[in-house]
């Protein structure tokens, strides 16, 4: 049996169907590289970004890998004056994940999570399974059975 990540174990426990995608990890790959690797539409490959709000609260935003997070839209989506990306060194202690392997599922502490508004448009989306080289593909609807999430317009136009 191939290696499973915590994300995969959580999905298995909740009996949520997903398709695992793995690659030999020689460092993090961009979402576009991952889309090309698996022959997927880049618009359905999502990346997980962690931010800190003006209030000091942390948030998770999950957007198409080909896009850039619009910090103003992100702040508005979580009713903050402003949000900023957290520093790379803060990611592991806060989420339990490393840069390039961060997943919205199974973080040390559940953060308010917002997906870009296009996530529900696809039959399935792909995102990190919590470890570099591991991704899961599942429907947004299934994802909502595992974590509390909502959608908003989050990307730079």
Angle CA(64)–CA(105)–CA(138) in degrees, nearest 5? Answer: 60
Instruction: Provide the terminal-to-terminal Cα distance of the chain, rounded to the nearest Å.
Output: 43
Find residue 47's DSSP bridge partners: 63
pTM over 0.85: yes
Q: What is the pLDDT of residues 135-144, one digit of tens each?
A: 999 999 999 9
| CATH 3.10.20.30 is right for the domain spanning 6-152 | no
Distance CA 29, CA 34 (A): 6
Q: Are 35 and 45 in contact (CB under 8 A)?
A: yes
Q: Per-residue confidence at 81, pLDDT binned at 50, 70, 90?
A: very high
């Amino acid at each position: 049996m191939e290696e499973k990540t915590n994300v995969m174990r959580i999905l298995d426990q909740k009996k949520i169907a997903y398709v695992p995608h793995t690659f030999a990890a020689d460092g993090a790959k961009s979402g576009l590289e991952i889309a090309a690797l698996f022959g997927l539409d880049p618009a359905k490959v999502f990346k997980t970004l962690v931010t800190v709000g003006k209030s000091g609260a942390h948030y998770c935003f999950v957007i198409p890998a080909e896009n850039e997070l619009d910090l103003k839209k992100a702040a508005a989506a979580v009713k903050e004056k402003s949000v900023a990306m957290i520093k790379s060194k803060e990611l592991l202690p806060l989420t339990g994940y490393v840069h390039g392997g961060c997943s919205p599922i199974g973080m040390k502490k559940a953060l308010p999570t917002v997906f870009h508004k296009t996530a529900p448009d696809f039959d399935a989306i792909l995102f990190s399974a919590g470890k570099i080289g591991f991704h899961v593909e599942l429907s947004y609807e299934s994802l909502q059975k595992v974590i509390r999430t909502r959608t908003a317009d989050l990307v730079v136009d």
